[in-house]
Amino acid sequence: MESEDDLLNLLLKSPNSESIQTIAEKLEIDHNFSFSKDRNDLQGVWVLRWSSSNSPFLKYSPLKI
């Protein structure tokens, strides 16, 4: 059984791995989480970021309007 740590390590070491989606979906099932059902329970500050970078971790500048 994959764990959250396995997913995080894979994201850090192989951010383009095709296994990421499979592991994430398995974790959702194992934790009985459904985004469509549970999205209102997610807490935090959510920021939409956009980048043209090919880097797996986005380098960004805040959008100034």
pLDDT tens digits, residue range 3-44?
A: 888 888 888 888 888 888 899 888 888 888 777 788 777 777
Please give the average per-residue pLDDT across 51-58, as a whole number. 62
Say if CB 35 and CB 26 are below 8 A apart: no
Give the CA dihedral 37, 7, 46, 62, nearest 10 degrees: -150
Do the beta carbons of residue 10 and residue 19 sit within 8 Å? yes
Tracing tokens 């390590």 back to the chain, one arrives at: 9
Asked if residue 20 lies in contact with residue 11, where contact means CB atoms within 8 angstroms, the answer is: yes
pLDDT for 59 beyond 60: no
pLDDT of residue 58: 56
60 pLDDT exceeds 80?
A: no
Contact 27, 8 (CB under 8 A): no
